[in-house]
Structure 1
Amino acid sequence: MFNEKNAIILAAGFGMRMVPINTMYTKGMLQVNGEPLVERIICQLKEAGINDIKIIVGFMKEEYEYLIDKYDVKLIVNKEYMEKNNLHSLKLAAKYICNSYIIPCDVWCGENPFINEETESWYMVNDLVDEESIFRLNRKNNLNVIGKDSAGNGMVGISFISSEDSEWLVKEINDLCSDPVYDDCFWEQALIEDGRIKIKARVVHSSQYVEINTYEQLRELDEHSDQLKSDAITTICKALDAVEEDITDITVLKKGMTNRSFLFNCKGSRYIMRIPGEGTNMLINRREEAEVYNLINGSGICDDIVYIAPSNGYKITRYLTGARVCDPFDRDDLEKCMAKLRAFHNMKMKVGHKFDIFGKIDFYESLWEHDKSIYKDYEKTKKGVITLRKFIDAQEKDECLTHIDAVPDNFLFVGDDIRLIDWEYSAMQDPHVDIAMFCIYALYDREHIDQLIDIYFENKCSDEVRTKIYCYISACGLLWSNWCEYKLDLGVEFGEYSLCQYRYAKDYLKIASERIS
């Protein structure tokens, strides 16, 4: 069917491990010695006589548009690049796989790896030992899948698929993509059978073939690259009186709901840097956040703050070794966390700003790019939730500095101590709002909600206060539902969490209303 060779370049993904520059550049456009990686790959392909080149794009896809005119390539857009891994990118080009090179966009090849006389399929690894690799070369030149506790050969990721092997590979790709279990898989999963890769290995020297996965790998390859310049790195250097070379072992943390954070070493100590995420300048007043941290830092309540910028929200904290988050279904954890929360509330700290729940409901709604809510009965639900305000306002409240986001993931157990982290929304409010927020983030049912209320109040909660907390659960459910709708406009999806928040708004509107009447 296809006699001439072709190439498929995978360039759709975020490149999350490239922190702190992962939102500034798409990986294919990273430059080594002034040349974008993807352009070097294209030129090497054309030098070998391979002119049929397709590039799968997604994140920052517009950055690749000029290549159509400059090199006569074709772009294929992966609309699901945020939710699915590159197995699904390759599926979009599966019909073209036959005598094909499959190439990750983040590879720098000192020597041209492409020729026009390929006959047998292969998958490229280098001669380095890599703890993150899942493949190890055996004596028969096969790549075996190894366990997580073992080290394998460094994965370069370039491969060639012959016409003889294309049929079974395309079938396997389509089969895997039909099962949601494989949504997060790399395309190499389609090559694996009986614990090994079905095609032979091609082993190359690590000095000539480098996959650039991290900021440090780019720095090692081209220490003078302009793309190494980053506000985050500059901030670290100033805050810790360091030079760029002091900053090592940069590791991305799991992307949070609001921010991107990464671990790093500097002068023998470990730190976390928080970089505000998409749209947070609209959601959070960083000067107010800095006011809170300046008040509580050193009190043993929060994490250890080294630096915070009121202007852009950049924050550096000391890494808490051995920390773990609260298990919201462990009674012992809950008792300890609620005791910590009670103690904080009893300190009666004061700041100059307030968190207005009902005002925020309207504010998040005003940020939507869409004309109306994605929920068909939103207006009815909102109208009902607003009626709860009369009861809330009528209750006695001893307002003080309240965390607002006191959810299970923000309670860190550090040895015998507990720290509360992530004070972005913290402000003056009724401290009982923190109980409601814990419940709706943990996705509690009513039995667990009542259990948490009893733990916090040590079985001395009045009916009026319990009803008030139910009202907060309803109002805060709508608040975070609206927040999720705004984030959805930015391309951030929260799955079950967003749906559950809207359900809390409706279900606890009914429960609270019945108790009030």
Structure 2
Amino acid sequence: MNKMSNDKFLVLNIINTKSINSQRKLAEETTFSLGKINRLVVELKNEKFLAENMDLTIKGKEYCSKQRIRRAIILAAGYGMRMVPINTEEPKGLLEINGEPLIERIIKQLHSVGIKEIYIVVGFMKEHYEYLIDKFGVKLIINSHYENYKNMYSLFLTRNYLMNSYIIPCDIWFKENPFSNVGSESYYLFSKEQVINSKWEVQPRGGVKKSLKELGDRMVGLAFINKYDGEIIKGLLNKANQSPNLFHNFWEKILEQNKKFILKGKLISSDDFKEINSYEELRDLDFNSSHLQSDSIKIIENILKTDLNGISNIKVLKKGMTNRSFFFEHNDDKYIMRIPGKGTDELINRRDEFETYEAIKDLGWTENILYLNPNNGYKLSKFIKNAKNCNPNDLKQVAKCMDLLRKFHSSNIKVNHCFNLYKQINFYEDLRNGQSAYRDYKTIKKRVFKLRPFIERNVKKKVLCHIDANPDNFIFSKNHLYLIDWEYAGMQDPDIDIAMFAIYAMYDQQKIDKLIQFYYHNQCDSLTKQKIYAYIAACGLLWSNWCEYKQSLGLDFGAYSIAQYRYAKEYSKKVLNYLGE
């Protein structure tokens, strides 16, 4: 019964809702040919859904009643990385088009066809959606893993509500209401627009096959799932839960089974909807949207003397450990806008950073800063063209980086703030506010702090140091080498920068010794080398605590965090053995 075709059900439902019993009027209503209408009516009569006078039989009425669409699921948990810079202030489901939030438009369209049971899966900025409970009577489902998994996990959380339900992305805008309160055959909505990131094509009768070309029909994201297919998809989601790596995929991944798409396809014109995936897509749909005027965009407009039309090709950069940044173009130049990341205010003194950039602005091998706010850390800089980060496994590049560090340290630039290593370890430890995940942390901390007198006795001079001197911050561009991102910089022993480079690159002892000799031009004495080992231990404990604090905010740095703790453990032992302790 659930396998009735869409065409047949369309005819049955029109007869049921509009009391039409003329085949000619049915043809006008459906735009089907008279011959097709005649065939469908004959089949419905033979299957006892229609009586001879074209009235619905009891069986037909019961069938139509069972096909009522009961509910809708809206997927709104995602971070929406491509919505930078907007997503620093509002989740993308609440972006406004013509003064109306996207998700409210979807809810109103559902309500207008009588669908009131609505589940919204939220995660990123979930609190911003809370008001919808009172305003529209929706139910919120919390996805706590939105940063790690894609929306297949969100759908898994709603697996018990899939039957006779719509699945809807929160970031889509439909010109006309796409929803109905009745449905028989499941479908997935595609656009007629051909795109490179789809491998599917909708066939004339609704079947979906793999495209033989490089392009396929654009996947819109909306689907209707009937009871029959809802049970199948629920089973597939339960199976995925046994292999959680599958949750790193979008939910459409489970619609491909045995190299076939398990739902029928339905096509919509690309003019009838807009998917809002980026700042520029929002701008193109509603130039006056209030969300286009984020703090970072206002800064760009003011500094570059431009407006919204002058900002193009916005792309989020790799999610950094401390900040979120995005790239954009203006005229023929390229820029990077830094937006401070989660918890950054606790970690970095922006006024100290401002002082550092003022002190180094004439060096010629730092980034070109156009704007830096000492209060909130927003930074606008020119993009370094033809750039590539230092490869820590390329010894020639590493040697050049150490020469630049040595040159910088020799310049004896001074600022009024210092980087107090041991004070920072305690500071990060207090920030994480709880017991360390490492069982022997207290023992290792005691060992690292035992190195402090040895380090302080052997500091020859203090100069401005980068502190965050990791390979990614050394940028090669043609014949020029830059050192960027001076957030942590302060007065310190220059040997600390060598240690920082080593532990960021996750070097073993052989590579660390090679790095030290690069900096010292093969003239490093044993005592200095042991002092650098001591810095490696202390800096390892510093960044281990930093990682634990960041993990408490929901960020995970994988192997990096354990590697830092291992440096603290292994190198504190090496130096204490050297000192005979």
TM-score per shorter chain, which class?
over 0.9
Alignment of 1:49-128 (within 5 A): 49-128=114-193
Counterpart amino acid of residue 473 in structure 1: I
- Flag the structure with higher helix content: 2
CA shift digits 1:425-452 (9 cap, x unpaired): 1111111111111111122222222222
- Paired residue secondary structure (2:523): coil
- Structure 1's unaligned 5+ residue stretches are none
Structure 1 residues 18-27 or 2-11, which shifts more?
Answer: 2-11
Aligned residue-pair number: 514
Query: Partner residue of 2:385?
Result: 321
Question: Per-residue deviation at 1:360?
Answer: 0.8
- Matches of residues 249-260 of structure 1 in structure 2 within 5 Å? 249-260=313-324
Q: Secondary structure at the match of 1:273?
A: strand
Query: 3-state DSSP class of the match of 1:301?
Result: coil
SS in 1 for 2:248: coil
Q: Distance in 2 between matches of 1:62 and 1:346?
A: 51
* Equivalence map 1:187-336=2 (5 Å): 187-193=251-257, 197-336=261-400
- Counterpart position of 1:410: 473
CA drift of 1:405 comes to: 0.6
For 2:501, the aligned partner's letter is: F
1:461-488 per-position Cα deviation (integer Å, ceiling 9, x unaligned): 2110111011001111111122222223
Q: Distance in 1 between matches of 2:435 and 2:360?
A: 40
Q: Is structure 2 residue 420 aligned with structure 1 residue 420?
A: no
Asked if the contact 1:144/1:195 (under 8 Å) is kept, the reply is no
Query: In structure 2, the residue corresponding to 1:499 is in which secondary structure?
Result: helix
Give CA-to-partner distance per residue, 1:150-176, whole Å, 9 cap, x none: 554443211122333233323333333
Q: Give 1:193 deviation, angstroms.
A: 3.8
Partners of 2:460 and 2:247 in 1: how far apart? 48
Alignment of 1:161-176 (within 5 A): 161-176=225-240
CA contact (8 A) 1:263 1:273 kept: yes
2:38 is matched with which residue?
A: none
Please give the alpha-carbon distance, in whole angstroms, between the structure 2 residues aligned to 1:396 and 1:27.
Answer: 51
Report the secondary structure of 2:380's partner residue.
Answer: strand
Q: Secondary structure at the match of 1:367?
A: helix
Cα 1:317/1:196, change in 2 over 3 Å: farther
Further displaced range: 442-451 or 458-467? 442-451
Residue in 1 that maps onto 2:59: none
Q: Distance in 1 between matches of 2:475 and 2:225?
A: 48
Q: Which one of 444, 448, 451 corresponds to residue 388 of structure 1?
A: 451
CA distance in 2, matches of 1:271, 1:342: 29
Give, in whole Å, the separation in 2 of the partners of 1:371 and 1:323. Answer: 41
* Distance in 2 (alpha carbons) for counterparts of 1:322 and 1:197: 42
SS at match of 1:53: strand
Asked if 1:466 is matched to 2:525, the reply is no
**Which entry has the higher C-alpha Rg, 1 or 2?**
2
Displacement of 1:389: 0.6
Which residue pairs with 1:443 in the alignment? 506
CA separation in 1, counterparts of 2:155 and 2:569? 42
Q: Secondary structure at the match of 2:397?
A: helix
Closer/same/farther in 2, CA of residues 49 and 445 from structure 1, 3 Å limit: same
- Separation in structure 2 between the aligned mates of residue 441 and residue 180 of structure 1, nearest angstrom: 30
Matched with 1:352 is: 416
Alignment-derived partner of residue 567 in structure 2 = 504
Q: Where do 5+ consecutive residues of structure 2 fail to align? A: 3-65
Tell whether the 8 Å contact from 1:298 to 1:304 is kept in structure 2 after alignment: no
Aligned-residue offset at 1:32: 1.4
C-alpha separation between the residues in 1 aligned to 2:512 and 2:320? 24
Amino acid at match of 1:179: S
Is 426-435 or 154-163 further displaced after alignment? 154-163
Question: Take 1:456 and 1:357, find their aligned partners in 2: how far apart are those partners?
Answer: 21
**Whole-Å separation in 2 of the counterparts to 1:331 and 1:196:** 49
Secondary structure in structure 1 of the residue aligned to 2:283: helix
Asked if 1 retains the 8 angstrom alpha-carbon contact of 2:203 and 2:209, the reply is: no
Alignment partner, residue 494 of structure 1: 557
| Mapping of residues 8-19 of structure 1, within 5 Å | 8-19=73-84
Residue 103 (structure 2) pairs with residue 38 (structure 1): yes
Q: Amino acid of the residue matched to residue 306 of structure 2?
A: A
Identical columns (%): 48
Provide closer, same or farther for how the CA distance between residues 385 and 276 of structure 1 changes in structure 2, counting only shifts above 3 A. Answer: same
1:454 alignment partner AA: Q
CA distance in 2, matches of 1:20, 1:150: 32
Shift of 1:232: 0.5
Q: Is the CA contact (8 Å cut-off) linking 1:467 and 1:516 kept in structure 2? A: no
* 373-382 vs 208-217, greater mean Cα deviation: 373-382
Q: How many angstroms apart in 2 are the aligned matches of 1:335 and 1:480?
A: 24
Q: Which residue of 1 aligns with 2:201?
A: 137
- The two structures, once aligned, show a CA RMSD in angstroms of 2.3
Q: What TM-score, normalized to structure 2?
A: 0.83
C-alpha displacement at 1:122, in angstroms? 2.1
Q: 1:291 and 1:171, CA in 2 relative to 1: closer, same or farther beyond 3 A?
A: same
Matched residue, 2:520: 457
